[in-house]
């Protein structure tokens, strides 16, 4: 799926790091019990890897019908021009402009957020072309799944092409004649909902703690353990790895701006926040470019905590 593997992203340097729709943001026990039951933990990773493999195979074989049942109606993610919903993702993932010779998935890691809500990350290598351009050789990928009517469905997807943080940023090539040179911004939600209003200040606090290299604040704002994928396609598999990376001195940032935020509720206690980020500063001597960010939050009692993140350079 995933056409970003066939697009040369601009690697601007930055250390930036249901069984139905449940439209509630409460944390009480009665609401929590509405989350669907799912398979044992041991079975989940194998099931989700199988689904990921099927998705890449559908992309490779240009199976346009596959996405209708694979993607949740609430799907959100990032593509070559910005935020995707189910309809735009179906068009982007169809692979009709791609010739894929092979792909491989490796280094899988599972995060289980709640019964019926899970996410897998993995490294993906691809040999092929899209729109006549050679595919990026490798990316780190994240896909979130939710149980809906007894089946796992993809509700989120994003991927970060693996690049060298110390290398000068590559120039993004236009995939079509109509591509803009300036990075596209995702559509701004017309009316931010209660979930977005609840999570956006928490996200800003995490970014401000990163800006200030404040390990203690980052520790307090985040879950006991988590994964993170940064815009260089670097996968940080544990909280300890992430805090060590974020507290480093590679970045000098004066201010952070988060806009165009949108929350997607996976269960009463799990939500994904997607947003546009910009920063006044530089990392590794390079000016920080615009970023499309995604974070998973899990509710612990009455408190939402940051549980996963992936950031990709905005095109």
- CATH at residue 153: 3.10.450.50
Asked whether residue 150 falls in the same domain as residue 202, the answer is: no
Sign of dihedral through CA atoms 282, 274, 87, 186? negative
Instruction: Give the pLDDT of the chain (315 residues) as one tens digit per residue.
Output: 555 544 433 343 344 552 333 333 333 333 233 333 344 455 689 999 999 999 999 999 999 999 999 999 999 999 988 999 999 999 999 988 899 999 999 999 999 999 999 999 999 999 999 888 888 889 999 999 999 999 999 999 999 999 988 776 655 433 333 333 344 444 455 456 889 999 999 999 999 999 999 999 999 999 999 999 998 899 999 999 999 999 887 889 999 999 999 999 999 999 999 999 999 998 877 788 899 999 999 999 999 999 999 999 997
Asked whether residue 151 falls in the same domain as residue 13, the answer is: yes
- Domain's final residue, options 112, 142, 161: 161
Answer whether residue 73 is part of any domain: yes
> Cα separation of 60 and 212, whole Å?
43
Distances in Å between the Cα of 287 and the Cα atoms of 12, 73, 163 are 7, 37, 16
Asked whether residue 198 falls in the same domain as residue 127, the answer is: no
Cβ–Cβ contacts within 10 Å for residue 67, how many? 22
Closest CA to 144 of 260, 42, 52: 52
Asked whether residue 113 falls in the same domain as residue 218, the answer is: no
Domain range for 57: 3-25+35-161
Closest CA to 288 of 298, 296, 279, 297: 279
Asked whether residue 16 falls in the same domain as residue 141, the answer is: yes
> Cα separation of 277 and 254, whole Å?
14
Answer whether residue 184 is part of any domain: no
Answer whether residue 185 is part of any domain: no
Domain count, the chain: 2
Asked whether residue 98 falls in the same domain as residue 222, the answer is: no
Asked whether residue 135 falls in the same domain as residue 235, the answer is: no
Whole-number pLDDT of residue 16? 54
Asked whether residue 8 falls in the same domain as residue 156, the answer is: yes
Whole-number pLDDT of residue 177? 31
Asked whether residue 124 falls in the same domain as residue 241, the answer is: no
Answer whether residue 213 is part of any domain: yes
Asked whether residue 147 falls in the same domain as residue 208, the answer is: no
> Cα separation of 191 and 66, whole Å?
32
Answer whether residue 188 is part of any domain: no
Q: Per DSSP, what are the bridge partners of residue 309?
A: 228, 295
User: Distance between alpha carbon 141 and the CA centroid of its chain, in Å?
Assistant: 8
Answer whether residue 187 is part of any domain: no
Asked whether residue 156 falls in the same domain as residue 200, the answer is: no
Asked whether residue 100 falls in the same domain as residue 225, the answer is: no
> Cα separation of 308 and 296, whole Å?
5
Decide: 296 and 272 in contact? Cβ < 8 Å: yes
- Domain's final residue, options 161, 179, 211: 161
pTM of the entire predicted model: 0.84
Answer whether residue 179 is part of any domain: no
For residues 196-218, b (16+ Cβ closer than 10 Å) or e, as one string? bebbbebbbebbbbbbebeeeeb
> Cα separation of 52 and 123, whole Å?
12
Answer whether residue 247 is part of any domain: yes
Structure tokens at 33: 């019990």
Whole-number pLDDT of residue 23? 36
């Amino acid at each position: 799926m995933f056409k970003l593997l066939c697009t040369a992203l601009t690697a601007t340097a930055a250390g930036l790091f249901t069984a139905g729709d449940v439209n509630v943001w409460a944390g009480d026990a009665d609401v929590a019990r509405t989350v669907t039951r799912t398979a044992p933990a041991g079975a989940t990773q194998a099931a989700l890897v199988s689904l990921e493999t099927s998705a890449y195979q559908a992309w490779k074989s240009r199976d346009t019908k596959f996405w209708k049942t694979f993607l949740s109606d609430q799907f959100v993610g990032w593509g070559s021009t910005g935020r995707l919903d189910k309809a735009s993702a179906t068009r982007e993932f169809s692979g009709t402009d791609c010739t894929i010779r092979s792909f491989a998935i490796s280094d899988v890691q599972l995060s289980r957020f709640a019964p019926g809500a899970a996410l897998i990350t993995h490294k993906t290598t691809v040999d092929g072309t899209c729109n006549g351009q050679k595919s990026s050789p490798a990316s780190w990928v994240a896909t979130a799944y939710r149980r809906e009517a007894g089946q796992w469905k993809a509700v989120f997807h994003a991927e970060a092409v693996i690049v060298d943080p110390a290398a000068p940023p590559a120039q993004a090539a236009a995939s079509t004649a109509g591509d803009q040179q300036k990075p596209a911004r995702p559509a701004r939600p017309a009316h931010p909902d209660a979930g977005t209003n609840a999570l956006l200040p928490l996200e800003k606090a995490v970014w401000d703690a990163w800006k200030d290299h404040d390990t203690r604040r980052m520790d307090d704002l985040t879950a006991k353990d988590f994964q993170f994928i940064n815009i260089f396609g670097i996968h940080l598999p544990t909280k300890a790895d992430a805090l060590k990376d974020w507290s480093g001195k590679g970045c000098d940032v004066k201010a952070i701006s988060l806009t165009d935020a949108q929350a997607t509720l996976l269960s009463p206690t799990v939500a994904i926040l997607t947003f546009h980020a910009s920063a006044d500063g530089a990392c590794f001597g390079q000016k920080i470019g615009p970023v499309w960010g995604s974070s998973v939050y899990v509710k612990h009692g009455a408190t939402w905590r940051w549980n996963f993140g992936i950031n990709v350079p905005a095109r």
